[in-house]
Amino acid sequence: MLASDAVKQAGDVGAEQAKQEPLGSTLIIVLLATFLQRLAFAVSEVLLVFYLADLVKANIGYTLTEVGILNVALYLTQTLAAPPLGALSDRLGRRTVLLLMVAAGMLATLIPALTSLFALLILNRIVAGAANTGATPAGLALLTDATSGSPARRGRAVALYEGLGLAAQIGGVVLSSILWQTMGQGSFYLAIGLLGLTLLLTAWFMKDSYRNARVDEQAGDNLKVDRRTWLGLLRSRRLWQFAPVWIAANAILGMWYTYTAILLLGSSPNPNQALVGSLYGQTITAGLVFLGYGSIYGAGLAYWSGRVMPGSRMRAMLIASGAAMVVSACLFAFNHAGGAAWAWLLILPAAVGELGESGFVPAALAYLTDLAEHIGGAHDRGAVLGFFGTGNSLGNVLGVVFGLLFIQWWGLQFDGLLLGSAILAAIAFAAAWPLYKEETRQAISIGVPKVVKDEQHAI
């Protein structure tokens, strides 16, 4: 049997199993509750993006450098806070940590509603960073608990988790664009109200899986106790093999999240680059553009749902990394087409590439939750997922630095965003390739690979 055939067969078997297994009420509640939390955070974060774009446009001391510093403060906080906050969800319970993080988000959102002082916006980024990064491992730990022992259902669940996260992001962009266009800085108070509603709904309807995790700890995971310590995590071979893939992918996201709105909305038009300033002052139009992007991405998630089974996860990440390079090339050509009518034909391959890109996050999350279950067991899943949140944040910091180099300091503007993205995608592809080969060998030998082997030889 060819390697590709074995991997495809493993993925097809897993997809069929996923279709046959119902999600269950507990998992549905987890998905809905985390969706509300992420929607509330998205609204507050996107409002801040529009706020910063207006501050840059007003020429009152804010440039891409200040915006980059604010985002570095956010990502460094996430890097440092992710492991302890992830571990906190194992000690206090998943829902308790979610409630604390939403409350912290309300406090952070109050700051830009009152002031534009740079020092206080730094404080906003620190508090918001802790709130966002603390909520993520708690939500993923809830999902991991609810899908324990069912890799097929987990693949479907993480695709739905990502799809709902995308819906939250799109909803946040569209709602925030309308709010900012009509209410300006006062929109932050509505974001605080949405966070308050999320706080109440989470407290009333979400059940905590913390006590259940303690019960099923009796089953064990055949790992030594020291695997549940940070020293054990640092010695995990699988973790270090996957880290470059995860960091590079999140660096791309960090670049686009930090600089795209500024380049499209807050920069003066550049006759040599069609995309720079193309949405200058058009906040609602920008929301519609992001809605179109999100729709394509969501269609891709619908396709990948149930296809990121054991045996096909690294393949999905390779496809996504290659697709990211295709998208960068298409947009680069569009950026230099000089407004020619034929340039719009480039949107089609770019959209197809976006469909491929959308497979990365569900595949990566499935891989990460598998590792969390097998490395941390029932006892320390949140701690392990917090560690992965650190990789997420490190990638975002790397993306901000890449952006400052390529976009600001070297003056490449949107070309710099695309060039940096292509380089990072190539790094992710190269780092994922040996993991794909290992995944393929496992598929050949047993059809559906073990997610994590005994790591006696880990270094």
pLDDT of residue 153: 73
CA distance 229 to 223: 11
Amino acid letter, 357: E
- At residue 137, what are phi and psi to the nearest 5 degrees? -65, -30
pLDDT of residue 239: 77
Sequence-separated (6 or more) residues with CB below 8 Å from residue 98? 33, 34, 37, 135, 138, 139, 202, 206
pLDDT of 153-176, one tens digit each?
Answer: 777 777 788 778 878 888 888 888
Q: What is the three-class DSSP state of 58?
A: coil
CA distance 171 to 285: 14
Residues comprising the chain, all counted: 459
CB-based contact 249:364 (threshold 8 Å)? yes
Token code pair at residue 96: 């308790």
pLDDT of 106-152, one tens digit each?
Answer: 999 999 999 999 999 999 999 999 998 888 878 777 777 777 766 66
First vs last C-alpha separation in the chain: 32
Taking the complete model, does pTM exceed 0.75, yes or no? no
Q: Compute how many other C-beta atoms are within 10 angstroms of the C-beta atom of residue 373.
A: 24
3-state secondary structure string across the chain = CCHHHHHHHHHHHHHHHHHHCCCCHHHHHHHHHHHHHHHHHHHHHHHHHHHHHHHHHCCCCCCHHHHHHHHHHHHHHHHHHHHHHHHHHHHHCHHHHHHHHHHHHHHHHHHHHHCCCHHHHHHHHHHHHHHHHHHHHHHHHHHHHHCCCCHHHHHHHHHHHHHHHHHHHHHHHHHHHHHHHHHHHHHHHHHHHHHHHHHHHHHHHCCCCHHHHHHHHHHCCCCCHHHHCHHHHHCCHHHHHHHHHHHHHHHHHHHHHHHHHHHHHHCCCECCECCCCCCCCCHHHHHHHHHHHHHHHHHHHHHHCCCCCCCCHHHHHHHHHHHHHHHHHHHHHHHCCCCCHHHHHHHHHHHHHHHHHCCHHHHHHHHHHHHHHHHHCCCCHHHHHHHHHHHHHHHHHHHHHHHHHHHHHCCCCHHHHHHHHHHHHHHHHHHHHHHHHHHHHHHHHHCCCCCCCCCCCCC
Q: How many CA atoms lie within 13 A of 112 on its CB side?
A: 32
CB-based contact 382:90 (threshold 8 Å)? yes
Q: What is the three-class DSSP state of 394?
A: helix
pLDDT of residue 124: 96
Q: What is the three-class DSSP state of 273?
A: strand
Domains of the chain: 3-207+225-446 (1.20.1250.20)
CB-based contact 217:379 (threshold 8 Å)? yes
CA distance 315 to 8: 9
Q: Is the pLDDT of residue 225 over 60?
A: no
Q: Is the pLDDT of residue 459 over 50?
A: no
- pLDDT band, very low/low/confident/very high, at 450 (cuts 50, 70, 90): very low
CA distance 109 to 199: 14
Selection from 240-244, 293-297, 438-442 with the highest mean pLDDT: 240-244
Q: Mean pLDDT of all residues in the chain?
A: 79
pLDDT of 411-429, one tens digit each?
Answer: 899 999 999 999 999 999 9
3-state secondary structure string across 199-225 = HHHHHHHCCCCHHHHHHHHHHCCCCCH
Bridge partners of 270? 273
pLDDT of residue 453: 42
pLDDT of 370-393, one tens digit each?
Answer: 776 666 555 566 666 666 677 888
Token code pair at residue 88: 């906190």
CA distance 360 to 421: 15
